[in-house]
Amino acid sequence: MPLLIECIPAFLDNYIWLLRDTDSGCTAVVDPGADRPVLDALARRSWRLDWILNTHHHHDHTGANLNLKRATGCRIAGAALDRHRIPGIDLALDDGDVFALGRSEGLVISTPGHTIGHICFWFARDCALFSGDTLFLMGCGRLIEGDAATLQASLLRLAALPQDTRVYCAHEYTLANARFACTVDPENTALRRRLAAMQARSERGEPTVPARLAEEIETNPFLRTASATIAARLGLHGSSPTDVFAELRRRKDNFI
């Protein structure tokens, strides 16, 4: 049976993902920055919490670790590289490890760039990718602990997953990302259609996340750095995809 996935909004624009393996009843949350929304969601469903999965160490993704562990007795899994920065970690994971949530299996993919130890979880059976702050819808994370080449390589690893993979990122940044994407890829008709669709969803009060990886490959400029059109738009005709990526990231950092 499939993995149940539910969205728990937190703070202004964070998403905590609640996962339940329907075969075993084993339950996890991904990147809990706040405890009360998680505890309320569990109480409404009369579910126990077995695991916390952390994609990286930032406080808005790990801030509820210890409170949830005390309240529920859950265990915490995160990157081995970040074991010293993830509160309460019990299980240290490396690239290529398989995390078992009951009968649901998530492949651990190392995706440094936003942070050195960032990891993603890909549940192949359910075509579900929990991408943290590496891959956003029509965007990507900031370069906080890595460089452009490192983050670009991480994104290319994710882009190589099956295109029907659904991307569950950790923030509702979609509209701002889409507006920026339109400034560097204005002739992309799929991008304009997608922006309109995302605006409609936002106006209805609906999350824009998740989306299929195929849509990201078609409209996310950070996955389209080999595009001659985008390079020319940036004044980088003939430059390497890594140079294009670095310029995209620089411009997005200053986009209002």
| Catalytic residue IDs | 56, 58, 60-61, 114, 133, 171
Task: Give the C-alpha separation, 160 to 78, whole Å.
Answer: 23
109-126 per-residue burial string, b: 16 or more CB within 10 A, e: under 16: bbbbbbbbbbbbbbbeeb
Could you list the beta-strand ranges (E) of 31-124. 51-53, 75-79, 91-93, 98-101, 104-110, 119-123
Judged by DSSP in three states, 160 sits in coil
- Residue 106: Cβ-neighbour burial (10 angstroms; 0-12, 13-18, 19+): buried
Question: Which residues, listed in sequence order, are joined to residue 121 by a DSSP beta bridge?
Answer: 108, 130
CB 132 within 8 A of CB 170: yes
